[in-house]
Amino acid sequence: MSSADQPATADAVAAAFAIADVKQNVLLFERAVSFAEPRFAIRAIRASSSLRPNLSPSVLSAVANSLFAKDSTFRAKVSSYLSSDVMDLDVVVTEDSRNVLPEVEVYFGFLSLLYLHDSDSQTKGLALATDLVDYIQTLNRRTMDPLSAKIFFYYERFHEAAGRLAEIRPKLLAAQRTATLRHDEETQAMLLNLLLRNYLHFNLCDQADKLVSKSVFPENAGNSQSARYYYYLGRIKAIQLDYTASHRDLMQAIRKAPKNIKSAGFQQAVHKLAIIVQLLTGEIPERGIFKQPFLMDALIPYLSITQAVRVGDLVKFQDTLAKHIGTFRVDKTYTLILRLRHNVIKTGIRMISLAYSKISLKDVCMKLQLDSEEDAEYIVGKAIRDGVIDAVIDHEQGFMKSKENPDIYSTSEPQNAFHNRITFCLNIHNDSVKALRFPQTQRKENNLTDAIREEERLIAGEIAEANLDDDEDDMGEF
């Protein structure tokens, strides 16, 4: 075999494998339609990840030839967005391929979207995604729900890459209302996350908060969508100064996120925000977080910020902020880190209060790198009022005197700590119970058993009534 024939042979082999895999997925879609069970469609979509590296114009052409008739309108529309040098392979078109399910048509469009996205064909991908969204909105099929969610994701992704996110917001809102009315939980969860991402991209925090308050996130949504939803909730509440609720939502996002290399980017983004929010609550993150392999390099600037906050070193905090200002702006945590300056000062005051029973305000000003003694007096006074330190200020002589530290076990702090741990364990238990799923066949068998029992009960009742009538007739004759 010549070297010129080898590429053609490789393409033919790739096309044959692709056709076999797609046909297997098509069978899953057909089973999903015949049994009215969307989980087969979900399995087909998950299996498509192995197809993604091998997608090419020639493979897509072979897939189209095996699925659609030559005069198929849908095939012609999708093929118009692919490259002009598509191979027209000789694949026999069967009669069954002329009656293609809508799910199969959208699935082929989904594969084409994956190819256009990976090949950076933004313009064609945007146009194809728009056509697919218009097509699926004309359908109302529950077996289409997993595919609809994926199509909307890439619809938003192509518009974001083109810088046209604002113009699709009304369409996403209308689709979200439609999905809610149809009880399309997959698409509903996806669209809610896309809308929150859209609002936060333009810093429209108030609109995002109103959307959250007026909508309900589906309880049966997958872990990936739930993790994204909790991450966006954490960002919204962090901006609104509700740091405790924000940290709780971010911990939920970390727990629900997939633990694999593919989700490393999402886990890095969540951990960056969670570290800053935890610092804003007055707590110090565990050092083990910064030692995880997929987080170590990304969290180096945040480790420096944490070290500065832990020891109350305002100079190190300012130096780290100036050194990594570009990274913080890209991560969209810069404004939250600016709020940490007051926490650094409060930590410094606490360290001084523990180290000195009596210290002048001038020395406090020098240690905290403040502008004047008056600023030091105001800051120390606010720390005393907020309960950060237990001390008094002598304004006339200009010093701060610390009081004796009380026994922590005489306060309610141990009770609050145990309450937080118990609440966390109960929430994990409740989420685990809600995540339990049962096969559809078992529910059908239970329903069939209940129907048989009901029929037997009715028959037994009729027999009893007949016997009672016979007894009454006998008694009458007696």
**pLDDT, position 72:** 76
Provide the token pair at 398: 């200009």
Percent of the chain with pLDDT over 90: 21
pLDDT score of 9 more than 70 = no
**What is the three-class DSSP state of 371?**
coil
Count of Cβ atoms closer than 10 Å to residue 372 Cβ: 11
- For residue 474, give both structure tokens: 């006998």
How far apart are the C-alpha atoms of 40 and 31, rounded to whole Å?
7
Place of tokens 């290399």: 261
* Per-residue tokens: 368: 């905290």
Element (H, E) at 401: strand 399-402
Is the pLDDT reported for residue 93 higher than 70?
Answer: no
Q: How many residues are given for the chain?
A: 478
Helix (H, G, I), strand (E, B), or coil: what is residue 391? strand
Q: Token digits for 396? A: 């006339």
| pLDDT reading at 23 higher than 90 | no
- Answer yes or no: is pLDDT of 8 > 70: no
Q: What average pLDDT does the segment 3-20 reach?
A: 61
Q: What average pLDDT does range 75-104 have in this prediction?
A: 61
Amino acid letter, 57: P
With CA atoms as reference, report the closest residue to 392 among 270, 379, 87, 400: 400
pLDDT band at 476 (very low <50, low <70, confident <90, very high): very low
Measured distance CA(202)–CA(206) in Å, rounded: 11
* pLDDT of 139: 82
Q: Say yes or no to pLDDT of 94 above 60.
A: no
234-254 confidence digits (pLDDT tens): 999 999 988 989 999 999 999
Lowest mean pLDDT among 14-18, 156-160, 345-349, 471-475: 471-475
CA atoms of 413 and 185, how far apart (whole Å): 41
| Range 410-437 average pLDDT | 84
**pLDDT interval class at 478 (50, 70, 90):** very low
Whether 112 has a pLDDT exceeding 90, the answer reads no
DSSP-based helix, strand, coil % in the chain, nearest 5: 75, 0, 25
Residues 327-355 have pLDDT tens digits of: 999 999 999 999 988 888 888 877 777 77
> Has residue 169 got a pLDDT over 60?
yes
Q: Can you tell me the mean pLDDT for 199-208?
A: 90
Q: Answer for the pair 18, 63: CB distance below 8 angstroms, yes or no.
A: yes
